[in-house]
Structure 1
């Protein structure tokens, strides 16, 4: 990183008739750092999964799918070649589908179907960018800066941006992210921290030099602000614990897109690494709380868990404090830096409004989850006691990530930003994030009872608008899925099978089928007896005449 070195390695598999079949690897400080974080977090999650999924019959299949998931993410991270990127990109979508439908029921299947379909849209955009890159004679996007034909680069950057939006679940492709919560909790921890959701933002970081030629960042900034505002608002009205954390992931992804649009690539990557740490920790601690509540995920049925599960509750509270950007946690060093840089930027009131309200929503739903889980009276009336399951393996895996979550923020800030940007702000702007945090805590305790009564008064309105992501779920299922599935069935009949083959073969088959049915009717009933008697009578007549 200090000497700005990178290695570009080509493996030649074979050379045939002037066509070379290569596998290309790009190793620089960014890919190595991201791979190390992926492996570090994945190892702790696999250790956690061995104990968490201990009573599952298909535990070995689950662990193999997780290892495959990590392998495809590795292919994506080290690839400067669009073909090998497509290999990792498509593999992530395929394995995520297998993991979302792991609990084989109707809800998991429908969630997995929406997930894999919207991810396939991202694969389609990557394939379109591959077609456009044929104009350059290379699929290595690292060489694209040397070409000055901006028309082709324009279309390639559009396709890469749309692919990143689908994978990172920005508007209008946001509906698959909360549905992916049907997967087991270790899968959610891996997907939302460092693999599937971060693949889109990582691809945008890699392609940032191409985007500097155009003005896509303005449109992307609007999309990211709207997504951040929508996800924070949905998390306030949600009662499923895993979906609240999923909306939190969506909000933080939009936060990264926003700082990327403002041109701060290293700052975005730094927050991506810190987010991977505390978000994986959040899912791991939430998984133990859900397991102890007999697989119940409704926060209204929890409460007072600090008395029954002190260690996991304390870790969960620390992760929520890190999400809010409390001082001296890992997220503070990245989030406060981004916040101050945003205050120095030259943006209009629209962006400031959505940014500050999204920041406020983050504090609001974090305090709400802490109140419902830890501070409220124990309200699980269906059970007289909880299981109190905290094994040593689970605690060791959580302690390792907690240690990194506490100390890696300061360490990587000194490592990555050895040349600081000058930030000049007044003291009131420096303390604005702490003020918003205090306002969020005060507003929650003031409005908690008021919102609880509003839930019953306007339940129909908020369920179909606020609680369902501004109706994006219905739009994606009814419009995208139904229409595209209809056209795919039509295309299969006309293009893939072929109209001649479809009609001719089915016509011949139906003709022979009707002939065989007629023969069966003759030979499987009493007509054959009469026919035999008729032939015998005819033979006897002939013999008499002759």
Structure 2
């Protein structure tokens, strides 16, 4: 509440604070920690604290019988801390601290259950996130040309060609963390983590870190060709994730593909140059996506940890409150009128209709909208409208716990009312859009068409199930063959090469030449005993570096 209140004040008075703290100054090199506080930072931190506190309350009951519950809560707190470090930093060194910390803690959380699936998924997650860290480090080195690591000053260097390379690597880093093509394979695999982790990672922290970095670096991307490339990549990712969600039967993976689709939607808004609209939808997405995972976690827990939607059905009769909340989140995902994401999605939809884009982007945008409606209706049909499929689960279904209900109630109330409230606050930052009636009701018509088309296509898919299973196995299940990035790929290529180099160089030639012949030669030359020198050569190397630093300081 504190951060949210001050965020409103900062919006009203249009203020921001830039705070620098100098740790030490050595040889014209200063180590400074920088904090940027504006309305975006305060709003985003308030939402992260709200969602994470409710997820912690949820985890107290959800992970109650787990033996390593304390370690789980500690990792979740570390995850939130690194995300806050990333948000408040306008300095690339401190951004790297939060960026790298998110990747490491996400590895620990995905591998939490310590089975074979968790190990494979966590390894792919950490390697693809490490690629994003590599791109940030390259930008960090490249910014030595500017004499400062604060990206807030970069607009003074627009006449330099250096910004071209910087923007390219920042875009690649954002694509790795936000799981866009070709780095999309880690996001569905990260579903091996516990459900509270999925709720935190997919709503407001890890996946949105790439979006937030692009929002902060938006000055770099003005009039750059990368925005057109990013628009194509985001369109293809929306299409791929929507098609995979239609044919998927794992509930958590369907929600993961919907996250991937919505993150690509945010990238499309960024490519249009509407930063405030993108941030508005980012906050709304954090609310309903966290609720979607929390409610699906209760459904999975009550179905004896079964995640297959074909084995569910009729759950509204057994878990009415949780099923109602889950249906509300899916309606909010679709942009149903007067839910929280309706205000942001409808605004973006109308703005898109006013742009001068070609038919390719126009078609992808509307088709991705249609796919979102389609897989949302499919999940509602399988979970709530079908007959109850697994009768042996009837004795397993438990009551909805008080802690679980309370944590969901708070976020759901904010989710229902915050969209219009934030729209009133931010209205002066948005353009006034006037459209004809036929364009205004186009989104509602697509929703109704998706509803009709689902029930028509459902019978057709059942009759064509052998052909569709062949199509799914050979094309869609591998996410357009992006799943080639598997553990075996790394084990058979990179890890094999690194182990070979370790055997040949590290414990091979270097040990033979340096530790035996070279040290023996220098030991005899300087009159030292060989055994003493072998035990203390590290100290001599350390003294050499200290001597080198003293020379640098006095020069």
The two structures have a TM-score, normalised by structure 1, of: 0.90
Partner of 2:536: none
Shift of 1:216: 1.0
Partner of 1:272: 282
Partner of 2:260: 250
Partner of 1:51: 61
Shift of 1:19: 2.8
Partner of 2:532: none
CA contact (8 A) 2:34 2:90 kept: yes
Distance 1:36 1:48 in 2: 18
Partner of 2:380: 370
Q: Secondary structure at the match of 2:24?
A: strand
Distance 1:256 1:243 in 2: 20
Distance 1:101 1:265 in 2: 35
Structure 1 unpaired stretches of 5+: 509-546
Distance 1:432 1:482 in 2: 51
Distance 1:222 1:487 in 2: 35
Distance 2:176 2:464 in 1: 34
Partner of 2:509: 500
Q: Secondary structure at the match of 1:13?
A: strand
Shift of 1:141: 0.7
The counterpart of 2:92, out of the listed 58, 82, 85, is 82
Residue 468 and residue 382 in structure 1: after superposition, are their counterparts in 2 closer, same or farther (change >3 A)?
Answer: farther
Distance 2:334 2:512 in 1: 62
CA contact (8 A) 2:304 2:393 kept: no
The counterpart of 1:431, out of the listed 418, 441, 454, is 441
Partner of 1:333: 343
Q: Secondary structure at the match of 1:14?
A: strand
Q: Secondary structure at the match of 2:480?
A: helix
Distance 2:168 2:436 in 1: 39
Shift of 1:483: 3.3
Does residue 201 of structure 1 match 2:211?
Answer: yes
Q: Deviations over 1:134-156 (max 9, x none)?
A: 11111111111112443211111
Moved more, 82-91 or 376-385: 376-385
Q: How many residues align?
A: 507
Shift of 1:498: 7.3
The counterpart of 1:353, out of the listed 363, 383, 391, is 363
Shift of 1:455: 3.1
Distance 1:305 1:248 in 2: 21
Please give the residue correspondences for 1:382-401 in structure 2 after superposition, counting only pairs within 5 Å: 382-401=392-411
The counterpart of 2:481, out of the listed 471, 475, 481, is 471
Distance 2:148 2:72 in 1: 38
Distance 1:480 1:414 in 2: 50
Partner of 2:47: 37
Distance 1:491 1:34 in 2: 45
Moved more, 229-238 or 457-466: 457-466
Residue 62 and residue 80 in structure 1: after superposition, are their counterparts in 2 closer, same or farther (change >3 A)?
Answer: same
Shift of 1:450: 1.7
Q: Deviations over 1:102-132 (max 9, x none)?
A: 0010000000000111000000000000010
Q: Secondary structure at the match of 1:211?
A: coil
Residue 59 and residue 31 in structure 1: after superposition, are their counterparts in 2 closer, same or farther (change >3 A)?
Answer: same
The counterpart of 1:11, out of the listed 3, 21, 32, is 21
Q: Secondary structure at the match of 1:258?
A: helix
Does residue 220 of structure 1 match 2:230?
Answer: yes
Moved more, 141-150 or 112-121: 141-150
CA contact (8 A) 1:47 1:397 kept: yes
Q: Secondary structure at the match of 1:468?
A: coil
| Regions of 4+ moved over 6 Å | 505-508
The counterpart of 2:251, out of the listed 220, 241, 256, is 241
Q: Secondary structure at the match of 2:61?
A: helix
Residue 168 and residue 3 in structure 1: after superposition, are their counterparts in 2 closer, same or farther (change >3 A)?
Answer: same
Does residue 160 of structure 1 match 2:170?
Answer: yes
Bigger radius of gyration among the two: 1
Distance 1:381 1:505 in 2: 70
Shift of 1:425: 1.7
Residue 335 and residue 491 in structure 1: after superposition, are their counterparts in 2 closer, same or farther (change >3 A)?
Answer: farther
The two structures have a TM-score, normalised by structure 2, of: 0.88
Structure 2 unpaired stretches of 5+: 1-10, 518-555
Distance 2:404 2:498 in 1: 46
Distance 2:435 2:490 in 1: 46
Shift of 1:4: 2.5
Partner of 2:193: 183
